[in-house]
Structure 1
Amino acid sequence: MKRVVITGAGTINALGHSVPETLEAMREGRCGIGELEFRDVERLAIRIGGQVRGFEAEGRFNRQQMSLYDRFTQFTLTAAKEAIEQSGLEFHGDLSAKAGVVLGNSGGGMQTLDENYRSVYEDGKNRVHPFVVPKLMNNAAAGHVSMQYNLKGPSFTVSTACASSNHAMAQAFQMVRSGMSPAMITGGSESMLCFGGVKAWEGLRVMSKDACRPFSANRNGMVQGEGAGIFVFEEYDHARARGAEILCEVIGFAMSSDAADIVMPSKQGAARAISGALQDARIAASEVGYINAHGTGTAANDKTECAAVADVFGPHADSLMISSTKSMHGHLIGGTGAVELLACIMALRDGVVAPTIGYEEPDPECNLDVVPNEAREAKVDVALSNAFAFGGLNAVLALRKV
């Protein structure tokens, strides 16, 4: 089995348009959640979100590209450019033939769907643009990344709701670890912050109207976000041979299914995924210093996740740091695990643990060190990233400092 390292990272989200901007915001405990700005927002009960501000697609893409790129694809390509440039990889010859892209996404082209439903049902038009289908399909971003960078190996999209990115990155990890590919582009993206996207989530009655406060006793729901996180996963010897900068090592993963309820999380399912990741990485629970939690800010998720962590880690749970950066950038649904992986990299590489902001009242059912409100300097050698999705689908990644 090959060792797998991360040699490039890119992002755009409510906290920043790049990795350095995002990590600076995480270190400062800055909140990127604010009032939503789009058509008909006044008709919504939920009017806050982690919206990407100041992003001008017209300056990045030409007219032909704009006709093919939904906002989630634009985010993906923006983040992919940063990640691949940092990695220094150029894809040609055998590397091009074997390298691919596995991305996570849940909603696909929601902006395109919203606009075209309006066009047909509200405006009464009988035609839509001929590129609507290739623009809104979930795998559009993966297709465009593969074309942009000459990636001719395995390329596809994973759609498992809020665990999509972690499932995608786990698949990419497995491909590099097994020797199938020397390098894979992976991560995820989402852009559901439009009238229809928010209205649909309103129906679940799990949304907060004021803030995301994971693990706090007075938490009252999740807050949606948007953006992308993209990474270059590369075989260790391949990276070393070309003198690449290594951000961290990916050492294990696990997936599980609750097989219980379509929306309510299961402590047992989450615990199986966490313990499975430790087993796959061949590490002891005591080696883990930080967990980036799924931490949605809902009553059901937070207490279930804390109970699962307590079960797996036992007495070591008291000395673990666990935080939810969703409190800052919102819940990116299919793209959330990818953006949150940046917090794990920051903890491992820079020795800075991102905080859970908005924390106001201790909850006896979330009695862990949730790094409240302020970032913390700490030596972290191993980190986990949790993702637990509707459908009872769980995916956990394990990473190590190099």
Structure 2
Amino acid sequence: MSAEYRAHRRRVVVTGCGVISPVGLNAADFWQSLLAGRSGVAPIESFDATELPTRIAGEIRGFDPERFMPKRVHRRIDPFARYALAAAIEAVEAAKLTIDDELAPRAGVLIGSGYGASQTQTHVSLTLEHKGHRAVGPFTAAASAIDNAAGEVALRFGIMGSSGAISTACASGTSSVGEAMRWIQHGYADVVLAGGADASVTGSDIASACSARALSRRNDEPEKASRPFDNERSGFVMAEGAGMLVLEEAERAMRRGAPILAELIGYGASSDAHHPTAPHPEGLGAELAIKGALTDAGIDPSTVDYVNAHGTSTKLNDRTESLAIRKVLGEHATRIPISSTKSMTGHMIGAAGSVELIACIHAIRDGVVPPTINCDDPEDTGLDYVPHRPREHRVEVAMSNSFGFAGHNAVALVRSWRP
């Protein structure tokens, strides 16, 4: 990509963030929990997990949907859509954004999810089996679709531009933010609400992940189960939630005096084309996505100050991600902090990438990077995984990695705002 082409693209900034997570039900509480090294992993309470090999997860606790939406709305939509809508409301309020009749056709919504409305789908299947077709509600088709969260957000704010969903497994949140950035860069929209959401702590989703032997079974010490890059890691921890960002064309944001948090400068995506669940053993797809993001941004690898790693706490993912980071960043990789906030939140699947990008934005703002808790014995001793405690560190450019099942890879780059 030529410098001339990049110079003609519109700049994209982040003006608001919203988070629903196992460690905080808003962006501020989420960030403070990360800095405190607080784990959101605990025994499952939302259903009876007694018979499952894994009985722990990062559940959303204390969430009151009626703070964000009328009962008639939250009763007809899946929890993943409730979380997305709540996070979008927080982001819009933080951005001080009003979507009026003039802006509505130039505003969009793009929300990623790995599992979509899995709770609704399970409920409908059981209802059909036990009560018959007459008991299936009229909103089922809409509520059980993966695009439902985007539709509800568009409906709430009167957004009339492009809206939809992206599903790239665990990379869904980052894919949505990256593609939404391109909508604005290329002039198809001026404002986009983008991010990811999932509510995959269900019996069927936990059972299937257990069958794949992907989940940690450290049920007796749930807060220590998610341990990215540590030699004693034994699998990831399922979690749920949502992360939403207000993306805005930079000149428009400046004209209205919006609170500009950071600038999105690069996005790279790739496919491993290797295996349904396992990453490429040499990290080739991850390497391509990281290189793609750097090329898209037009920056040298040496300018990256912090990496928020995908860091799932699985043997293969952590090993190949470290390898890919080393390949692309070279010796610079050994001089910068690299941390996985999944050590605290668990793996929020489709929400993970957008929530972790929000963590990067906070790191830029505060000059501090969050830790990787439970990283007692790192597999790669040459990389700095920021074990146990946060660290003051000046961050101008941050990279957020997301790598998913089926070989989906997405990487986003954010930079401190420079008018």
The runs of 5 or more residues in structure 1 that have no matched partner are none
Residue 394 of structure 1 aligns with which residue? 409
Residue 257 of structure 2 aligns with which residue? 243
Cα distance in structure 1, aligned partners of 2:368 and 2:300: 22
Cα pair 1:38 1:195 within 8 Å, conserved:
no
Q: What letter corresponds to residue 284 of structure 2 in structure 1?
A: Q
Q: What letter corresponds to residue 180 of structure 2 in structure 1?
A: A
Over residues 277-300 of structure 1, what are the superposed CA-to-partner deviations in whole Å (9 max), with x where a residue is unaligned?
Answer: 111101111110101101000000
Residue 37 of structure 1 aligns with which residue? 45
With normalisation by structure 2, the TM-score equals 0.93
Residue 87 of structure 1 aligns with which residue? 95
1:144 is the counterpart of 2:160: no
Residue 247 of structure 2 aligns with which residue? 233
Q: What letter corresponds to residue 168 of structure 2 in structure 1?
A: T
Residues 91-170 of structure 1 aligned to structure 2 (within 5 Å) = 91-121=99-129, 123-126=130-133, 127-170=135-178
Alignment match of 2:379 (pick from 363, 380, 387): 363
Aligned residues: 400
Distance 1:124 1:150, change over 3 A: closer
Residue 330 of structure 2 aligns with which residue? 314
Alignment match of 1:384 (pick from 387, 399, 419): 399
Residue 353 of structure 2 aligns with which residue? 337
Q: CA deviation at 1:347?
A: 1.3
Q: CA deviation at 1:117?
A: 2.5
Residues 250-329 of structure 1 aligned to structure 2 (within 5 Å) = 250-266=264-280, 267-329=283-345
Q: CA deviation at 1:32?
A: 0.7
Cα pair 1:67 1:131 within 8 Å, conserved:
no
For the residue of structure 2 that corresponds to 1:173, the secondary structure is helix
For the residue of structure 1 that corresponds to 2:18, the secondary structure is strand
Q: What letter corresponds to residue 69 of structure 1 in structure 2?
A: I
Cα distance in structure 2, aligned partners of 1:84 and 1:45: 40
Cα pair 1:264 1:390 within 8 Å, conserved:
yes
Residues 167-186 of structure 1 aligned to structure 2 (within 5 Å) = 167-186=175-194
Cα pair 1:306 1:367 within 8 Å, conserved:
no
Over residues 231-289 of structure 1, what are the superposed CA-to-partner deviations in whole Å (9 max), with x where a residue is unaligned?
Answer: 00001111111111111110011111111222111211111110111111011111101
With normalisation by structure 1, the TM-score equals 0.97
Distance 1:66 1:362, change over 3 A: closer
Q: CA deviation at 1:58?
A: 4.6
Cα pair 1:296 1:302 within 8 Å, conserved:
yes
Cα pair 2:306 2:397 within 8 Å, conserved:
yes
- Which aligned segments of 4 or more residues in structure 1 are displaced greater than 6 angstroms? none
Cα distance in structure 2, aligned partners of 1:292 and 1:359: 15
Cα distance in structure 2, aligned partners of 1:232 and 1:47: 35
Deviates more, 1:226-235 or 1:191-200: 191-200
Residue 26 of structure 1 aligns with which residue? 34
Q: CA deviation at 1:346?
A: 1.4
Cα pair 2:68 2:89 within 8 Å, conserved:
no
Over residues 89-141 of structure 1, what are the superposed CA-to-partner deviations in whole Å (9 max), with x where a residue is unaligned?
Answer: 111233111110011011111111222233334x4544322222211110000
Cα pair 1:190 1:332 within 8 Å, conserved:
yes
Distance 1:132 1:272, change over 3 A: same
Cα distance in structure 2, aligned partners of 1:63 and 1:31: 31
Cα distance in structure 2, aligned partners of 1:181 and 1:245: 19
* Cα RMSD, aligned residues only: 1.3
For the residue of structure 2 that corresponds to 1:391, the secondary structure is helix
Residue 222 of structure 2 aligns with which residue? none
Identity of aligned residues (%): 40
Cα pair 1:114 1:195 within 8 Å, conserved:
no
Cα pair 1:226 1:332 within 8 Å, conserved:
yes
Residue 365 of structure 2 aligns with which residue? 349
Cα distance in structure 2, aligned partners of 1:353 and 1:63: 39
The runs of 5 or more residues in structure 2 that have no matched partner are 1-8, 219-224
Cα distance in structure 2, aligned partners of 1:180 and 1:56: 35
For the residue of structure 2 that corresponds to 1:188, the secondary structure is strand
Cα distance in structure 1, aligned partners of 2:69 and 2:92: 18
Residue 4 of structure 2 aligns with which residue? none
Cα pair 1:273 1:395 within 8 Å, conserved:
yes
Residue 213 of structure 1 aligns with which residue? 227
Cα distance in structure 2, aligned partners of 1:7 and 1:60: 20
For the residue of structure 2 that corresponds to 1:93, the secondary structure is coil
Q: What letter corresponds to residue 257 of structure 1 in structure 2?
A: S
